[in-house]
Amino acid sequence: MVIWQLDTGQCQKTLVGHEDAVTTLTYDATTIISGSLDCTIRLWCISSGQCNGVLDWMSSEGHTGVIRCLAADPWRIVSASDDKTIKVWDRETLRRLVTLRNHTDGVTCLAFNDHVIVSGSYDKTVKLWDFSVC
């Protein structure tokens, strides 16, 4: 991945670590979180370009299909996949907190706040999940 300076068009940093295509990412003021076909979610420091965490979702009770979307807050990372599930991860320890199952096809998008996760799927549904239990 490459971080570009918008006003100059100059390359600022190249983030090296994923071994296959990046399928999704999200970011905040300090961190980029990326998901890849290499079965990892990586946390990148924007200022240094260093990878500060790697979550191998295939070996961490994680997804069995491609991750299509990510969302995060300071405490959690939420990922959704073609495997029809949504996973909530602790952002500090990168441990899985919960798996949400109810879609009948791949999950393509999600958003959340402190109370609700909203997800959309190839199954033509939008689901609201109670996030207060996560």
Cα dihedral across residues 86, 97, 57, 55: positive or negative: positive
Instruction: Give residue 131's pLDDT.
Output: 83
Cβ count near 77 (within 10 Å): 23
**The token pair that represents 110 in the structure block:** 């999600």
Q: What is the C-alpha separation between 124 and 69, in angstroms, rounded? A: 16
- In 3D space, the residue among 51, 46, 22, 47 whose CA is nearest the CA of residue 34 turns out to be 22
Cα dihedral across residues 104, 109, 111, 112: positive or negative: positive
Q: How far is CA 65 from CA 35, 47, 77, 81, 119, in A?
A: 12, 31, 17, 6, 16
Instruction: State the pTM of this model.
Output: 0.91
Which of 29-33, 58-62, 84-88, 98-102 shows the lowest per-residue confidence on average (mean pLDDT)?
58-62
pLDDT at 4 exceeding the cut of 80: yes
Strand order in the sheet with 126-130: 107-112, 116-121, 126-130
Mean pLDDT (whole number) for 21-32: 96
Domain range list for the chain: 2-133
pLDDT at 60 exceeding the cut of 80: no
Instruction: Give residue 134's pLDDT.
Output: 61
82, 92 in Cβ contact below 8 A? Answer: no
> 2-133 adopts what CATH topology?
Methylamine Dehydrogenase; Chain H (2.130.10)
Q: In this predicted model, what pLDDT tens digit does every residue of 93-117 receive, in sequence order?
A: 999 999 999 999 999 999 999 999 9
pLDDT at 17 exceeding the cut of 80: yes
